[in-house]
Amino acid sequence: MVRNFKGALMPEARVLDVFRRSLLETHKGARAMLLRINPAKLLVFGYVFYMLIGWALLSLPFMQNVPVRQIDNLFTAVSAVSTTGLVTVDPGSTYNIWGQIVLLLLIQAGGVGYMTIGSFAMLATHERLIPIRERVTMAAFSLPNGSSPAQFIRTVILFTLICELVGAIALYAIFASEGISNPVWSAIFHSVSAFCTAGFSLNSNSFEGLAGHPGLNFVISALSLFGAMGFLIIWDIWRNLTGRSVYLGFTSKLIIRMTAAFLLIGTIILFVAEPSIAALDPLDRLLAAFFQTMSASTTVGFNTVPIGALSHATLLVMFFLMAIGASPSGTGGGIKTTSFAAMVGLVRSTLKQRAHVRLFKRRIAASRLQAAGATFFYFMILLTLAMFLLSLTEPGASFEVMVFECISALGTVGISMGLTGDLSVLGKLIIIILMTAGRVGILSFGIAFAMHDETPAEEADNELLL
């Protein structure tokens, strides 16, 4: 028997019942609080949590071959979860097999999405997704209203496993024939890294020695494109094959067209204008031009040619491709191809003095145009601010190198001209913030920290002059 606060005796069963009700009330209160939180904030908090966990694990001495500074462990963890690939230390030689396994898990969680993995675990045990998981999944992958997050998650996980498994088998055959050490583990690691567009490599020079290898170029490019083009396309195709939909959606068609256009134009420009690959034979030159265009456009970040040797013309093309980045609902970063298309449509409609914006005979909603404009504006604000701060913390770096580094971080690309390893502590923290913003999503990152004003706005007496 137990006494209550008045001193009366209470049966143990009643005590347990009171305790159970208290827990239920606490649980309901916590769920209600979570439902009130902006999904964008939950995305940021979730990714930051995984980054901190990764930092703690990589800081353990038995994860390392050599002692590593804490700021470098943090930088590596953030780069892995954000699927960027910028590194201040060489992952292949700095971390042992256990540290590399941690990196692989962080890349997988960051690429597919931490909420996706947790939700799939719930679905695998025949549990239903709680509303907060559905909301965050919808926000993370930009799913249209009326979508089924549960079905989408199952498709994402299945497609991811198939791609990474097939990619690992193909890469093993290539690495074994090229005499690369530990080809099994290297194939698994690079397959996951490519599909998640992380760009992490166990090779100190990425794939520079294999620029003319058709098999490597094809496998890495295919994995990166499948990851970067977005799970929405895969889901769309799956619904088409299973008879749930007859046609590809407008977004899927737009993504395919934009991706193909960027790859074609970028490859032609690099093939014609890049002097560092001019000495290669035509096929190797074409492969190198396509691979670097693909690497920048999908934000995977691998390279087969030295980035520091590229001409100014090629760097300008890569600036553009890295900033635009991949497609929504995929593993890549950047402004996104669809946002860029919407902005092009807006400019075109403005020049032609049309009341509405149309793309491929489809009218674009004003809310989508607002989101695209806000994404572009916020990207430029973050980029400009980061470049200004880096110019103060890294006075010895050239302007073009700083621009390249900032775009690569904010677009979660991971290609560097050599500045990353020489960054100061403050410089590394600036890049860490950019990588985090790039992974969460430029617009979501801005929404998460925006002050929401519910005060009704008064309409201006006269139209705003522009």
Q: What confidence tens digit (pLDDT) does each residue in 24-60 have?
A: 454 444 455 444 566 677 778 888 999 999 999 999 9
Higher pLDDT, 152 or 92: 92
d(CA 52, CA 34): 21
Can you tell me the mean pLDDT for 276-297?
A: 93
Instruction: Using CA atoms of 374, 380, 381, 384 in order, give the dihedral in degrees to the nearest 10.
Output: 180
CA nearest 290: which of 403, 203, 214?
214
Question: Is the model's pLDDT at 67 over the cut of 70?
Answer: yes
Sequence length of the chain is 466
Question: Is the model's pLDDT at 2 over the cut of 70?
Answer: no
Residues forming beta bridges with residue 359, ordered by sequence position: 362
Work out the pLDDT band at 277, boundaries 50, 70, 90.
very high
Q: What confidence tens digit (pLDDT) does each residue in 350-362 have?
A: 998 888 888 888 8
Q: What is the pLDDT of residue 151?
A: 76
Work out the pLDDT band at 91, boundaries 50, 70, 90.
very high
Q: What confidence tens digit (pLDDT) does each residue in 376-430 have?
A: 999 999 999 999 999 999 999 999 999 999 999 999 999 999 999 999 999 999 9
Q: What is the pLDDT of residue 16?
A: 44
Structure tokens belonging to residue 139:
């926000």
Work out the pLDDT band at 5, boundaries 50, 70, 90.
very low
Structure tokens belonging to residue 352:
């032609």
Higher pLDDT, 150 or 184: 184
Question: Is the model's pLDDT at 4 over the cut of 70?
Answer: no
Question: Is the model's pLDDT at 119 over the cut of 80?
Answer: no
d(CA 229, CA 344): 19
Which of 95-109, 145-159, 326-340 comes out lowest in average pLDDT? Answer: 145-159
Work out the pLDDT band at 458, boundaries 50, 70, 90.
low
3-class DSSP state of 362:
strand
Question: Is the model's pLDDT at 208 over the cut of 60?
Answer: yes
d(CA 47, CA 437): 10
Q: What is the pLDDT of residue 411?
A: 94
d(CA 353, CA 355): 7
Are 14 and 1 a contacting pair, CB within 8 Å? no
DSSP track, 211-268? TT-HHHHHHHHHHHHHHHS-HHHHHHHHHHHTTS-SS--HHHHHHHHHHHHHHHHHHH
Terminal-to-terminal C-alpha distance of the chain = 78
Work out the pLDDT band at 433, boundaries 50, 70, 90.
very high
Q: What is the pLDDT of residue 27?
A: 45
Alpha carbon 313 to its chain's center: 26
Q: What confidence tens digit (pLDDT) does each residue in 218-264 have?
A: 999 999 999 998 777 887 777 777 766 656 788 888 899 999 999 99
Are 197 and 412 a contacting pair, CB within 8 Å? yes
Q: Output phi, psi for 364, to 5 deg.
A: -95, 130
Q: What confidence tens digit (pLDDT) does each residue in 133-149 have?
A: 666 666 556 566 666 77
> pTM for the full model?
0.86
Instruction: For strands 2-3 and 358-359, give the pairing.
Output: unpaired
Domains, in order of start, for the chain: 32-140 (1.10.287), 366-450 (1.10.287)
CA nearest 42: which of 114, 104, 94?
114
d(CA 332, CA 440): 11
Averaged pLDDT of the chain: 84
Can you tell me the mean pLDDT for 78-104?
A: 96
Higher pLDDT, 4 or 216: 216
Quick one: DSSP state of residue 353?
T
